[in-house]
Structure 1
Amino acid sequence: MSPRARRLATTLGALVAACVTATSALPGSAAATPFESVPGSVTSLILTKSSADMKRIAEYWNPARLKQAQDNNPATPEVKPSEGTPSSAPTSASPTPSGEATATTASGGENTTTTTTPAKTATPQAVRPTLPKKRQPATGTSPITVGKVFFRIGDKDYWCSASSIASANDNLVATAAHCAYDAKTGRPAEYWIFIPGYDRGATPYGIYVGHSVNLHERFVSWGDYDYDYAFISVHGGFRWKPGKTAGSYQMEAVGSLEDNVGGQGLAIRRGTNLLTYAFGYPAAPHNDGSRPYDGQSLKYCGGRTRKQIAPARLVEHGIALKCPFTAGASGGPWLVDYDPKTALGYLNGVNSFAWDTDVDRKYDLISSPYFIASTYVVYHWAGSQRAPS
């Protein structure tokens, strides 16, 4: 990636979760859908085969390691130099829908499943959010569905932002694809966990180990950041409690993710000009060296979305929002129709890239993939995956 590309576009690594008070609801507009529905395939990669795998990963993220994890680097995507330099003044382009798929196949070994879905399969325009069963949400709270994910790529630990989303399995997390899959090595992240409601190291609603990561095949095969989203099914949660001897800890089960924090809804093909909240844990400095965020608490931006297109396939069908988030926010949710009384809304995107559109060495815009029918296909498949008990 060229120096100018680095100056103009970077990903939002990990976005942190702290309390933010929402002051008003965010009604979505009835804007026309700007992009065609693109059918596509799902690549599903198993992260843990058994409860023993889950326990091994849980023990890796012991209290001492979690305490140090904030000092790790936020994850950013692998962008190839051949993909070109993003423009500070995005150009217009017409989407090219892929052809209809009619088969269901399996490939890639015992841990990988690829499925394709017909273009004309009925797809809901929205999935309703769900309230947590184990607590009553307080008026004016920030979404406790949002939190941090921690994982390992190679010999290094990284982190990102993410959110719980309503699903059939009650244990589903939405984030950016580059926060769960390493495009450089072509492998999923390892030791993947989600901590909802993360705030300055606290894990108030438990820790959830990833079971399977589910992505659009175009991100896996093409490195296409128009599909920079992932839905990760997780095991039931646990928390660390003091053990019987000094300095020791024990795992205590806390139940399903949705029971503890609820789940955001899902919206697709909603168009642009929607009043939207983007949440995350920005942490890295701007290109000028200034550092307004520390990644320890949840932040948000609000505004209306528009198209975001860059040349050379970096982002062709994205949506954008004015926001000064820096690296660390990747994977955090974009919510429309947000209700501050329940801290719930509809997921309409995830933080993917940050942009310096006026080239003043400070980021002023964030972008997300545009959610279409094939996004729902990935989501629906992910929600059918259930971790072993």
Structure 2
Amino acid sequence: MKRLLVPLTAASLSAAALTLPANAAPDWVQDPLAPKAAEAYSNAYFWLDANGAALKKATQYNVDAKDVQKLVSTQAKTPDGKPGSASPTGTTPPVAKSTAVNLPRSIGKVFFLDSAGNYRWCSATSVQSRNRNLIATAGHCVYERGKDVFAKWVFVPGYYQGKAPFGVYAGAYAFTSYDLDTYDDYDGDFAFVAVHNGFALPNDKKVSFKEFQAWRGDKWVKPVEISPAEYAKCVLTLGHCWSEGADTPADKVGPDFPGAVLEKVEASEKEYTDAKTGKGNGFKLGEPETVPVTLPEYTAYKGPGKKTIDKSGNYLITHYYTQKWVKPGLSRKYYMAEYVIGIAKDLGRLGDAVGGQGVAWNQPMGQNVTAFGYPSAPHPDGDKAFTGVTPKWCSGKTGTKTYQVNTFKVETHQVLKCSMTPGADGAPWLMKYDNNKRTGYVNGVTSMFHDQDGNGRIDFISSAYFDGETADVYNKAQYAATKSIVGPNGEMMQ
């Protein structure tokens, strides 16, 4: 960072607040996403509704996707304080040792709407915090151009092929660096977000009108079509019913009228013989139809068709038809209200459901890290190597020097050789990753993507260097209190 930072040691993280000089600005910025239960419920439901249709509609978000930035080597980063860390917590039992990389349950996607109303997503992970409710991601996945926070912001841990196996966690408060928020400075491109308890899609339940009125959760009226007789009975008993539209007759129109419907009109033999052939009102329609009938049917028939008896004594009626083109009329429809409530399910705190990775800061350069994310965008040469529906990973040592980027005010990014493309924005870089416990320490989050050799392929990703300022922001965020947005009976909390 280019501002004077307040040093933060590992020991000082236990304090609820940091003591700053009287004239010093804080290193952190806090913004509300959806602190109130009703708004958080609405945000989560938006993404879960219609079997997660909005989740599947979203596309990756990346602010510099059209311009791959070059890295410029500077020098080794000088920490602004002592190395420090917060230990991870896990919910996945250790597994037998494996040469394959085991994916942590903590990783997932964050979903949001950008200022243009587009459905977007980035990568993220749950991290350890005092209230077990915190995630880490890139700052630009929370703040648009370092300014306003995104709308309908939620976290879906364990996201896999359009599914939310652990539910949706609505963002309550966002925390990022002062420099990103104020100057759009990507040396501070990270964010910690406190989320409410998880939420599962409600089950529908039909209830009485009285129960419907008293319900504080999600509810809706389902119209059920009924017959005119049922409607009349409903009105007499003061039930909740209504009608729509009016009975209107069909209008006679020409055959070329939009939406015109052909009806057949029975005619006499003379009317049929005199009618023209072709398409139009009163024109012949098909050939005459002679059908055998019983004596009672023969006697009862009073239509314009021709009645005959053949030599064998069979009774026959010959029908003649002409055309009639009409615009169909309308019928009044009758409805009765069916009252439905949505009984949601509280899934508890994020950290209790999927665990939380540790967080580390002021670590030496050249650390072994494993980055997990959901890359999706094509490489600069157009090759689309990733789909974004499943998580990917890459591992290696971070660079021994920090790098500048000529845009986004970057002076001290750390780098990792990796071919993941945008969509992996916000992907955690886990230091000391334990493949059996599936835990490590977040020591960076993917911020930018780079093609250093100019071959049209992403070959490096970069992250803000996690220093004392990062620890400052993390410390502030982990004390954020959130809540359950669903009550014990499935109702929405106030």
2:111 is the alignment partner of 1:128: no
TM-score normalised by L of structure 1? 0.77
Paired residues of 2:370 and 2:429 also in contact (CA < 8 A): yes
Give 1:188's match in structure 2, choosing from 149, 153, 164: 149
1:229-267 deviation digits (Å, cap 9, x = unpaired): 000000011112542379996421110001011100011
1:91-117 deviation digits (Å, cap 9, x = unpaired): 3258799xxxxxxxxxxxxxxxxxxxx
Structure 2 distance, partners of 1:233, 1:225, is 21
2:418 is the alignment partner of 1:323: yes
Paired residues of 1:129 and 1:266 also in contact (CA < 8 A): yes
Secondary structure in structure 2 of the residue aligned to 1:345: strand
Amino acid at match of 1:189: F
Pairs within 5 Å for 1:142-157: 142-154=103-115, 155-157=117-119
2:197 is the alignment partner of 1:197: no
Partner of 1:209: 170
Identical columns (%) = 34
Shift of 1:73: 2.5
Structure 2 distance, partners of 1:224, 1:36, is 11
Give 2:179's match in structure 1, choosing from 214, 218, 221: 218
Amino acid at match of 1:214: F
TM-score normalised by L of structure 2? 0.61
Amino acid at match of 1:367: S
Amino acid at match of 2:161: R
Structure 2 distance, partners of 1:261, 1:376, is 22
Structure 2 distance, partners of 1:48, 1:76, is 23
Structure 1 distance, partners of 2:78, 2:83, is 22
RMSD value, Cα: 2.8
Shift of 1:138: 4.0
Partner of 1:92: 74
Partner of 2:356: 263
1:267-306 deviation digits (Å, cap 9, x = unpaired): 1111211111011000011111111100011100010000
Partner of 2:477: 382
Greater C-alpha radius of gyration: 2
Structure 2 distance, partners of 1:49, 1:78, is 30
Give 2:60's match in structure 1, choosing from 56, 66, 74: 74
Pairs within 5 Å for 1:49-68: 49-64=35-50, 66-68=52-54
Give 1:362's match in structure 2, choosing from 453, 457, 461: 457
- Residues 310/65 of structure 1: CA separation in 2 closer, same or farther (3 Å cut): farther
Amino acid at match of 1:75: Y
Give 2:389's match in structure 1, choosing from 285, 296, 321: 296
Structure 2 distance, partners of 1:37, 1:222, is 15
Paired residues of 1:86 and 1:310 also in contact (CA < 8 A): no
Partner of 2:204: 243
For CA contacts below 8 A with separation 6 or more, give which structure has more relative contact order: 1
Paired residues of 2:125 and 2:428 also in contact (CA < 8 A): yes
- Displaced runs of 4 or more, over 3 A: 35-38, 78-81, 85-88, 93-97, 135-141, 244-250, 311-314
Higher mean displacement: 305-314 or 294-303: 305-314
Partner of 2:141: 179
- Residues 345/278 of structure 1: CA separation in 2 closer, same or farther (3 Å cut): same
Shift of 1:327: 0.9
Shift of 1:38: 3.2
Structure 1 distance, partners of 2:402, 2:374, is 22
Partner of 2:267: none
Shift of 1:190: 1.2
Shift of 1:368: 0.6
Q: What 5-or-longer segments of structure 1 have no aligned partner?
A: 1-34, 98-118
1:173-201 deviation digits (Å, cap 9, x = unpaired): 000000001117x2001111101111111
Pairs within 5 Å for 1:155-166: 155-166=117-128
**Aligned residues, how many?**
325
Amino acid at match of 2:103: S
1:192-220 deviation digits (Å, cap 9, x = unpaired): 11011111112112210000000001001
- Residues 325/80 of structure 1: CA separation in 2 closer, same or farther (3 Å cut): closer
Amino acid at match of 1:341: N
Partner of 2:311: none
Paired residues of 2:123 and 2:426 also in contact (CA < 8 A): yes
Structure 1 distance, partners of 2:69, 2:119, is 28
- Residues 94/274 of structure 1: CA separation in 2 closer, same or farther (3 Å cut): closer
Structure 1 distance, partners of 2:77, 2:105, is 35
Partner of 2:427: 332
Amino acid at match of 1:58: A
Paired residues of 1:50 and 1:388 also in contact (CA < 8 A): no
Amino acid at match of 1:91: S
Structure 1 distance, partners of 2:65, 2:383, is 24
Partner of 2:288: none
Structure 1 distance, partners of 2:93, 2:170, is 25
Partner of 1:310: 404
Shift of 1:152: 1.1
Pairs within 5 Å for 1:343-358: 343-358=438-453
Partner of 1:168: 130
Shift of 1:65: 7.0
